[in-house]
Amino acid sequence: MTTPRITLNDGTTIPQLGFGVFRVDPEETERIVSDALEVGYRHIDTAAIYGNEIGVGRAIAASGIPRDELYITTKLWNSDQGTQSAIDAMDLSLEKLGLDHVDLYLIHWPRPDLDRYLESWHTLEQLKADGKTTSIGVSNFHIPHLERVIGESGTVPAVDQIELHPAFAQRPIREYAASKGIAIEAWGPLGQGKYDLFGMPAVADAARAHGVSPAQAVIRWHLQHGIIVFPKSNSRERIAQNFDVFGFELTAAEMAAIDGLDQGMRVGSNPDEATL
């Protein structure tokens, strides 16, 4: 199965379904990412703070998959925001990944208390110009943060990666992003197990109707909304199952029922307050 691709506002394309390695044990990362690549994933989402870029890089090297068939994302951590520190952080990430460039580089959090995300954004523009990343974007940015970087730089982020799952659908940010041509990526797309998403009738009924798992139904919900999504699992069986989401389509009624689960229920940190 070839994963559908979304065209970003800089003219490049990104696989809509990827594999995330948040909280994947660095000692297990090479094995788990190798499993994902063997299953068919070609989009891997990591970050400096995850501590597993080396494992991702080893899996990439061992896979034998041509570099131009892979899409690799990593992220600038908060303590590295700035100018020279961001350049150094990018170079270190590339070294750990064993790559000469990534496909997408993101500012991981805005950290408005530090007030360095605009300076960092200008540095990402330079990193793109230098060929160290093909595209640049942000993560966990709210509308005022997006407005500021766009207004001050004139460069619209290619993506905004945000917490997004049925109980926290983030409609205002999604609508704003759509108006600016910013693609939305979902982290925690299955709610991180912090509430009984799979037991909710809208999800369970959709899964049962299509003979799929509740996780597959929720991943399909994301895809049909045009969201870029990276489910995560340490189990090869579930990694494969989460990739097998292109043989069915949720009905309009099923989509609406899952939409109706939105409670504005955040399970992660609030970017306006986070001091990670």
Alpha-carbon torsion angle 107, 77, 228, 7, nearest 10: 40
Which is catalytic among the residues 50, 71, 105, 117? 50
CA–CA gap between residue 18 and residue 43 (Å, rounded): 4
CA–CA gap between residue 106 and residue 30 (Å, rounded): 22
Annotation marks residue 50 as catalytic: yes
Tokens of 196: 């009984």
Distances (CA, A) of 45 to 21, 42, 185, 273: 6, 10, 10, 24
Burial pattern 213-223, b for ≥16 Cβ within 10 A else e, equals bbbbbbbbbbb
CA–CA gap between residue 48 and residue 63 (Å, rounded): 21
Catalytically active residues are 50
